[in-house]
């Protein structure tokens, strides 16, 4: 697998976002300022609650197929490889990892079988777009932790995707879950969310390495990042962290991640979380405590490491 120097672009953006002038300018900035050669686009699928069986991807909450296809074409035009990662979320704000149902069907209760039918429809819709537009990878969802024990359904889904999309197929598990997924053998690439505390990278990489060796598959971090908020380097997965803006702490976290990973040749890339389709003014970077790296010290760290991987 070609090494991935990636950034997630415009995640979960609503209809119309990717057809704006701001979105195209933002993507140009992403390439120039980070040195990335790869982006992940994340169409948004929505279900009402973690126990809802239907996933919708045709409302104004989701980018249109037309603008998605046009953005993929533009990304390719400027020399970026593209992965699609259609991702399910809950309208009520519950994190998607908690989508869950009884393991045995119960009358009058929501069922895994109905949910997987809807999830498969969602995934295959975008697998077809990935195939038609020549996307370089398809990632069959993200951080669906409670569903991952349903190995048979996931194997069937990956098989169905491969009937439509003929490039490499991955799945993005959550942090700490790499060794809980039993069906890595059916994907082409293992990927996970690398939101590990700054001081824990070595021990977590030791654990993940055992998984990579067991399944003998390429691996990359399909998500990784840290907010520029005081204390975030200790809990980089916690988007609710509040505190003083600390740009250097974010930069230090990225340095620690890259330094740890460059010693592990089996880590074949990163896709940072994330780069907005509409950026804040550069003069506001010093007051932004989010995951964005635009015009923050972490941006220079990323560009330097991407230039040398």
Per residue in 97-151, pLDDT (tens digit) is: 999 999 999 998 999 999 999 999 999 999 999 999 999 999 999 999 999 999 9
Structure confidence at residue 11 as a pLDDT band (50, 70, 90): very high
List the domains of the chain with CATH numbers.
4-308 (3.20.20.80)
Q: Please name the residues in contact with 120: beta carbons below 8 A apart, sequence gap of 6 or more.
A: 156, 157, 160
Mean pLDDT within 190-211? 98
Q: What is the pLDDT of residue 60?
A: 97
Mean pLDDT of all residues in the chain? 97
Q: Do residues 99 and 144 make contact, with C-beta atoms less than 8 angstroms apart?
A: yes
CA atoms of 33 and 276, how far apart (whole Å): 13
pLDDT of 91 reads 97
Using CA atoms, how far apart are residues 292 and 290, in angstroms rounded to an integer?
A: 5
Q: What is the mean pLDDT of residues 205-233?
A: 98
Q: Could you tell me which residues come within 8 angstroms of residue 282 by beta carbon, excluding any fewer than 6 positions away?
A: 294, 295
**At 26, is the pLDDT very low, low, confident or very high (cuts 50, 70, 90)?**
very high
Residue 95 C-beta-side C-alpha neighbours within 13 Å: 12
Torsion angle in degrees (nearest 10) through CA of 35, 143, 14, 124: 100
Angle at 96 between CA 93 and CA 46, to 5 degrees: 70
H/E segment holding residue 92: none
Tell me, what's the pLDDT at 228? 98
Confidence of residue 75 (pLDDT cuts 50, 70, 90): very high
Pick from 41, 89, 91: nearest CA to 67: 41
pTM (global) more than 0.85: yes
């Amino acid at each position: 697998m070609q090494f991935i120097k990636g950034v997630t672009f415009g995640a979960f953006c609503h209809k119309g976002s990717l057809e704006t002038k701001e979105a195209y300018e933002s993507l140009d900035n992403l390439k120039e300022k980070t040195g990335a050669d790869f982006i992940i686009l994340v169409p948004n699928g929505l279900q009402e609650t973690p126990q809802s069986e239907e996933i919708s991807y045709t409302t104004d909450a989701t980018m249109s197929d037309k603008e998605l296809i046009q953005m993929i074409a533009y990304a390719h035009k400027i020399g970026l490889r593209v992965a699609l990662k259609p991702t399910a979320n809950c309208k009520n704000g519950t994190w998607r990892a908690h989508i869950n149902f009884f393991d045995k069907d119960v009358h009058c209760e929501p069922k895994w079988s109905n949910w997987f039918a809807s999830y498969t429809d969602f995934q295959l819709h975008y697998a077809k777009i990935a195939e038609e537009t020549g996307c370089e990878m398809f990632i069959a969802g993200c951080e669906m932790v409670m569903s991952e024990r349903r190995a048979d359904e996931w194997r069937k889904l990956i098989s169905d995707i491969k009937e439509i999309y003929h490039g490499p197929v991955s799945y993005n598990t959550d942090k700490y879950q790499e060794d809980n997924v039993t069906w890595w053998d059916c994907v082409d690439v293992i990927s996970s969310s690398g939101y590990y505390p700054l001081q824990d990278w070595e021990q977590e990489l030791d654990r993940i390495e055992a998984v990579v060796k067991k399944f003998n598959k390429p691996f990359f971090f399909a998500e990784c990042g840290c907010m520029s908020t005081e204390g975030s380097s200790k809990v980089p997965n916690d988007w609710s962290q509040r505190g003083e803006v600390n740009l250097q702490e974010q930069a230090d976290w990225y340095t620690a991640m890259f330094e740890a990973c460059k010693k592990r040749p089996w880590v074949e890339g990163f896709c940072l979380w994330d780069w907005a389709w509409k950026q804040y003014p550069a003069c506001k970077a010093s007051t932004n405590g989010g995951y964005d790296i635009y015009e923050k010290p972490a941006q220079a760290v990323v560009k330097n490491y991407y230039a040398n991987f």
